[in-house]
Amino acid sequence: EDKVVQSPLSLVVHEGDTVTLNCSYEVTNFRSLLWYKQEKKAPTFLFMLTSSGIEKKSGRLSSILDKKELFSILNITATQTGDSAVYLCAVYSGNTGKLIFGQGTTLQVKP
Amino acid sequence: ETGVTQTPRHLVMGMTNKKSLKCEQHLGHNAMYWYKQSAKKPLELMFVYSLEERVENNSVPSRFSPECPNSSHLFLHLHTLQPEDSALYLCASSQAMQPPNEQFFGPGTRLTVL
């Protein structure tokens, strides 16, 4: 059965810290992995990864995919209180066309 | 208006009521999705419509009935729901159903079933 597992499930840090969020997957015919940030509303898109070893960056956020070990990480440097949110990882199965979501990691950044 | 919009944003209904959720996308996409998000559970895919044809219903109970009259509009008709159906219902769209296309989400409808 296809599954996506995120860790940790929750994390509390202080402003300025660096955090690493993990996403591992077992999905038939992997096509892409997506990261979303969800505050008190709909998820907003962060990154889409399809190739191993190529880091994607957007400001203080970056992400990389390892298709051999079947995982991805999302890094946030110099965290701010506005980074507090649930971070969702999702993987597309090419066989079914379904997007499978992990449980999410709840990040709280304290001042 | 741009992006994906959903109405209503909040809905409270009794178990015997009939109501409908509406989603509209202004992105020219060809695929639309309904998701259910319950507390402390991953997003669950309910329905997918590609070019107005349903292609996946994911074993959702029949008390949820989707309708897609055209590629820009998607409805979720609700009847005789249960309290455990209370959740955030999210609509999304993508250029096509096949990956690796990014999905754009609406703000969601927070549904409470009494």
Please give the average pLDDT of every successive group of 10 residues along chain B, which has 114 residues. 88 91 95 89 86 77 93 95 94 80 89 94
Specify burial of residue A70 (Cβ count, 10 A radius: 0-12, 13-18, 19+).
Answer: middle
Q: Is the pLDDT of residue A48 over 60?
A: yes
pLDDT tier for residue A51 given thresholds of 50, 70 and 90: confident
How many pairs of residues across A and B have Cβ atoms under 8 Å apart?
Answer: 54
- Residue B2 has a pLDDT of 65
Closest chain B residue to the Cα of A102, Cα to Cα: B42
Closest chain B residue to the Cα of A48, Cα to Cα: B102
B82 compared with A94, residue with greater pLDDT = B82
> What are all long-range contacts of A58-66, with beta carbons under 8 Å and residues at least 24 apart?
A63/A35, A65/A33
Contact A96 B90 (CB under 8 A): no
Cα dihedral value A75, B99, B87, B73, nearest 10 = 130
Q: Does B59 lie at the interface with A, CB-CB under 8 angstroms?
A: no
Residues of chain A contacting B48 with CB distance shorter than 8 Å: 97-98
Pairing relationship of beta strands A10-14 and A105-110 according to DSSP bridges: parallel
Q: Is the pLDDT of residue A2 over 90?
A: no
- Residue B36 has a pLDDT of 93
Contact A31 B48 (CB under 8 A): no
Cα dihedral value A39, A43, A47, A53, nearest 10 = 80
- Residue A47 has a pLDDT of 87
- Residue B6 has a pLDDT of 96
HSE at residue B30, side-chain half, CA atoms within 13 A, is 9
Residues of chain B contacting A42 with CB distance shorter than 8 Å: 4, 90, 105-108
- CB-based contacts of A15, cutoff 8 Å, min separation 6: A79, A80, A81, A109, A110, A111
Helix (H) or strand (E) holding A103: none
Candidates A13, A10, A18; CA nearest to A62 is: A18
pLDDT tier for residue A68 given thresholds of 50, 70 and 90: very high
Rounded CA-CA distance A62/B96 in Å is: 26
- Residue B48 has a pLDDT of 87
Q: For residue B57, give the DSSP letter.
A: -
Closest chain A residue to the Cα of B46, Cα to Cα: A98
Q: Is the pLDDT of residue A28 over 80?
A: yes
pLDDT tier for residue A45 given thresholds of 50, 70 and 90: confident
Q: Does B43 lie at the interface with A, CB-CB under 8 angstroms?
A: yes
Q: Is the pLDDT of residue A92 over 90?
A: no
Rounded CA-CA distance B2/A108 in Å is: 30
Residues of chain A contacting B55 with CB distance shorter than 8 Å: 97
Q: Does B103 lie at the interface with A, CB-CB under 8 angstroms?
A: yes
